[in-house]
A and B are shown apart, each in its own frame.
Chain A
């Protein structure tokens, strides 16, 4: 790692002010993506602003029939939360399959979302639920948040504060994990609301996306058979040593069917 300073701001406002002062500053929450990145010398921040402990980012509460989860809540805390298991159990299940236990003890939901790794699990839940992302400046709809490979709608110095998830009637996440990293080769989050179904796909493309043809079919008929014949075109899907675009396209349908089965059983 290149040398950097470390600071622990005592509030979100202080963190935002420090970010404004220094364009080379970076936020640190759980550090489970950032520290490995620094070890590879792929980034050279002047200072890390540790916001992982801030109470403003650590809340987890019921709100407006849904769940508001603070950005610095750790994956393991979501997985173990009785409140999450009772209200949106699919979120707890998703969090319980990220990395391994020690990763889940440190890595944060907000860190994963703000980083927007194309293979991360959380973006599928955010888009699948149609969540609202609350920053220190504004609210952003899930459909407007993820812009591309590691790219989000967050502006320079903007800090993700919490995410509000509406509560679906039924939801589930099915993932075909990379056997080493547990990142999603393909992951599909299906959420059934009273009037519509949302289907979000991670791992398959440069950014999470909605499978709208599946959404329409499932809104009419919420059974796995309804989407068995629907294939997401392989054009534009990721192709790497783990899976070709053609295989990923196949996996999207398989994972979506499994997610619907799980959601129906939930």
Chain B
């Protein structure tokens, strides 16, 4: 079986995989990183988003071997030194989740958005999140959380 190597959350990892092994299977089943969820398994819901070389990718629609040599960040890799990432903190503070199933994908998607557009309008946040389904919240608090995180990140950068 072929070997795949990548950096996941700052750590070099390697493992034998099949051609058909999905990135999400490698992350969850080999590395035990179960924060990345499989929702629809048909590339629609966004629960499985991870960052691959800095951009959000559906890990259920990406082969592990396509990520050979890539830098992957999952939800587990966002917090540092026990401090939640500002997007995670904003989801907590603004109650941007109920059951939490979609949350890892929402947070990763928001991190990707804010890396491109540090000051999005509410409409831009809603439009960006169209590939992330939440069946609990009605999205309002998620959008609030992303806008609050954007403001905090801008402040951090200015400081």
Residues of A within 8 Å of B41, CB to CB, are: 39
B58 near A102 with CB under 8 A, answer yes
Residues of B within 8 Å of A2, CB to CB, are: 20
Bound form: Cα–Cα A5–B128 in Å = 35
Task: Tell me if A35 counts as interface (CB < 8 A to partner B).
Answer: yes
Known: A8-B68, A52-B66. A38 touches B131 (CB 8 A): no
Bound form: Cα–Cα A2–B130 in Å = 31
- Which one, B43-51, B80-88, B94-102, B139-147, is touching chain A? B43-51
Q: What are the 5 A-B residue pairs with the smallest beta carbon separation, nearest first? A: A100-B131, A6-B19, A1-B20, A6-B65, A105-B55
Task: Tell me if A31 counts as interface (CB < 8 A to partner B).
Answer: yes
Per the CB 8 Å criterion, the residue count for chain B at the interface is 29
Report how many A-B pairs have Cβ atoms within 8 Å.
Answer: 74
Task: Tell me if B113 counts as interface (CB < 8 A to partner A).
Answer: yes
Task: Tell me if B32 counts as interface (CB < 8 A to partner A).
Answer: no
> A residues touching B (Cβ–Cβ < 8 Å)?
1-6, 8, 28, 31-32, 35-36, 38-39, 47-48, 50, 52, 76, 80, 99-103, 105-106, 180-182
- 24 inter-chain pairs at a CB distance below 8 angstroms, sorted by A residue, are A1-B20, A3-B18, A3-B20, A6-B2, A6-B65, A8-B68, A31-B62, A32-B58, A35-B22, A36-B43, A36-B61, A38-B20, A39-B42, A47-B19, A80-B116, A102-B58, A102-B109, A103-B43, A103-B131, A105-B56, A106-B58, A106-B61, A180-B44, A182-B130
CB distance from A101 to the nearest CB of B (A): 6
Task: Tell me if B57 counts as interface (CB < 8 A to partner A).
Answer: yes
Residues of A within 8 Å of B44, CB to CB, are: 180-181
A100 near B66 with CB under 8 A, answer no
Task: Tell me if B152 counts as interface (CB < 8 A to partner A).
Answer: no
Residues of A within 8 Å of B113, CB to CB, are: 101
Q: Using CB atoms, name the residue of chain A closest to B108.
A: A102
Task: Tell me if B151 counts as interface (CB < 8 A to partner A).
Answer: no
Q: A3-B20, A105-B112 are in contact. List 7 more A-B contacts (CB 8 A).
A: A2-B20, A8-B65, A28-B63, A28-B66, A31-B61, A76-B55, A101-B113
